[in-house]
Amino acid sequence: MSTDELFQRLKHPNPNLRDQAMWELAENPDETTIPRLMSILDEEDTTYRRAAVKALGAIGFDAVPPLVEALLNSDNVTVRGSAAKALAQVAINYPDDPFPAEGVQGLSTALHDPNPVVHIAAVMAMGEIGTSVVDALIKALQATDNPALAISIVNALGSIGDERGVEVLKALSQDESTDSYVREATVSALSRLELLIKNQPPQ
């Protein structure tokens, strides 16, 4: 199939055919593949946009620089949110490789994006990256006074399974000045985290 046909197929109503097209594009990209996928990130058509996000995630680390660029510099909130989601897909598809520092840096910066769609997508992406971003998440958690952002960070720390999260969540859950919703989320994230750590195979 030609590249054009594969791009058409990303719009197909059948998810299996979309996935097939996505992996074919990812495995045989030419120099236009990433820019074309990037240009779909503001599509009205949600199916097409999500397929592009997944395809960029399947391409992996080569897609990280343009995604970070879009995440930090696009005026379009849909593009910024989609870029964060695509970075999450990269982390999901390539869990055994260290995530590029540029990507981590970009996501850490996007935690301060004024739009909740973007900063919450950035937190979720960092949750997928895992232990290498725990310190950045903790820093953002301690700096924010936005309860919705704090709750997403707390949940991400709860799912990463890293010891460093325990003390921070403990302190937050005991802090009287913490927003009540945030405290509630912290208590449940802490119990998930402690369970995760307890059940981790010894290194």
pLDDT tens-digit map of 127-136: 999 999 999 9
- In our burial notation (b when 16+ CB lie closer than 10 A, e otherwise), range 170-194 reads eebbeeeebbeebbebbeebbeebb
pTM for the model: 0.91
pLDDT for residue 111 = 94
19-54: per-residue pLDDT in tens?
A: 999 999 999 999 999 999 999 999 999 999 999 999
Q: Buried b / exposed e across 9-45, counting CB within 10 Å, b at 16+?
A: bbbbeeeeebbebbebbbeebeeebbebbbebbbbee
* Percentage of the chain lying above the pLDDT 70 cut: 100
Count the neighbouring beta carbons within 10 Å of the beta carbon of residue 60.
16
Whole-number average pLDDT of the chain: 94
| Structure confidence by residue, pLDDT tens digits, 66-99 | 999 999 999 999 999 999 999 999 999 999 999 9
Name all domains of the chain by residue range, CATH numbers in brackets.
1-129 (1.25.10.10), 132-203 (1.25.10.10)
Chain centre to alpha carbon of residue 175: 28
- Tens-digit pLDDT profile for residues 149-171: 999 999 999 999 899 999 999 99
